[in-house]
Amino acid sequence: MNKLHRDPMYRFLALLTIASTTGLQTWRTLFNNFAVETIHLEGNHIGVIQSVREIPGFLALLAVYLFLVLKEHRVSALAILTLGLGVGLTGLMPSYGGLIFTTLIMSFGFHYYETTNQSLSLQYFDSDQSPWVIGKLRSYAAATNILVGAAIFTLSYFLSYQTIFILVGGLIVLTGLWGLAQNPDRKDIPVQHKRMILRKKYWLYYFLTFMAGARRQIFVAFAVFLLVKIFHFSVQEITILFVVNNAINYVLNPLIGKAIMRFGERRVLSLEYLSLIFIFIAYGLATSKYLVAGLYILDSLFFNFGMGIRTFFQKIGDPQDIAPSMAVGFTINHIAAVVIPVLGGLAWIVDYRIPFFFGAGISVISLIAVQCIRIPKKVGLPSET
């Protein structure tokens, strides 16, 4: 695996992943406190903004048409530049409408980078390498989150939320410009279809991707908001939680990749969804600040098990289908994501526990679905039959 560190695409994805993570983590760390303390928003406002944030993910299939005029790695770099622009503008538009607008820009950058990141990871690294590569990239992301958390923890005592947004956004824009100057392309990679691909044989990948998107939104839209709104976490406490969480993820993410390689996708994903049933129920019943913080860490850790859905597709999919299928999959992932935050926000007004109990139901259905995973023995070990 050491030779992969010298691969130009690996280095390209590693650096852009660090930039993407820096932008998203800054936005996530500051967002809830910024929304509550500076703009004075409520749960229904948060639900709307989080739904808007997922619209670009819903439109990720349009990336296929960008590939008609731009190479995929160019789209990655442009996405990072757009992400940085959105983060920077957040500090300049501190209002409900401004937050909706800048969230949309930031999200287009983030989601289009993630679409190309997933695609390039599966195209350039085979099924014996990709779980390790994806795990390492997530490990780098976790380490970046720690550094970002430490920086925000320190800077929040001296700088306003707006100033931090502007500084971080500027750094990400510079990284995007660097990416545009790189050429990590290889000639031995199968040429990808430049159109949307929907195939019956991929139905389980589509369904698991859809359910993962629904589960993810409960975590992204309401877990941290629960900590701030119900348990009154300060921005410093949120930052400490993120640092601890990412330190754990930094160590364990590569091991998750190795676990997929050793035990297979079905077993790893089964463990994820079985655990999430209890985690989501506990979210709704918890009364302890420390218990909820622990649940957040476990939730985040099991979220990374979802890389098994992508590696499952790599083992059953045609090589030429990877790029369009990742784009279509990203859109499917965000169908529920556009709706659930709004409905969850309305449900929050009735009882904040409702979104989390709904998440437990999603996990039950997903646990049943992953038992359908079957991987032909000839495409790699371990076989899942």
C-alpha dihedral, 36 to 42 to 44 to 48, nearest 10°: -30
Where does residue 246 rank: exposed (0-12), middle (13-18), buried (19+ CB within 10 A)? buried
pLDDT value, residue 376: 67
Average pLDDT, the chain: 85
Among residues 17, 257, 212, 200, the alpha carbon closest in space to that of 120 is found at: 17
- In this predicted model, what pLDDT tens digit does every residue of 68-125 receive, in sequence order? 788 888 999 999 999 999 999 988 888 888 889 999 999 999 989 988 888 888 888 8
pLDDT value, residue 193: 66
pLDDT value, residue 380: 44
Residue whose structure tokens are 């410009």: 177
Flag whether pLDDT at 270 surpasses 90: yes
Asked if residue 191 lies in contact with residue 321, where contact means CB atoms within 8 angstroms, the answer is: no
Flag whether pLDDT at 4 surpasses 80: no
DSSP letter (8 states) at residue 34: I
Asked if residue 111 lies in contact with residue 56, where contact means CB atoms within 8 angstroms, the answer is: yes
3-state per-residue secondary structure call for 62-86: HHHHHCCCCCHHHHHHHHHHHHHHH
pLDDT value, residue 3: 64
Chain centroid to CA 185: how far? 24
- What is the percent of the chain where pLDDT is above 70? 94
More confident residue, 326 or 363: 363
More confident residue, 115 or 339: 115
Flag whether pLDDT at 25 surpasses 50: yes
The whole-number average pLDDT for the span 32-48 is 76
pLDDT value, residue 324: 83
Flag whether pLDDT at 152 surpasses 90: no
**Domains within the chain, CATH numbers bracketed:** 7-180+192-379 (1.20.1250.20)
Cis geometry, peptide bond prior to residue 355 (ω within 30 degrees of 0): no
Q: Which residues on neighbouring strands pair with residue 300, listed in sequence order?
A: none
pLDDT value, residue 381: 44
Flag whether pLDDT at 257 surpasses 50: yes
DSSP letter (8 states) at residue 194: S
pLDDT value, residue 16: 95
Asked if residue 209 lies in contact with residue 309, where contact means CB atoms within 8 angstroms, the answer is: yes
pLDDT value, residue 366: 93
pLDDT value, residue 5: 65
DSSP letter (8 states) at residue 221: I
The whole-number average pLDDT for the span 335-339 is 73
Flag whether pLDDT at 47 surpasses 90: no
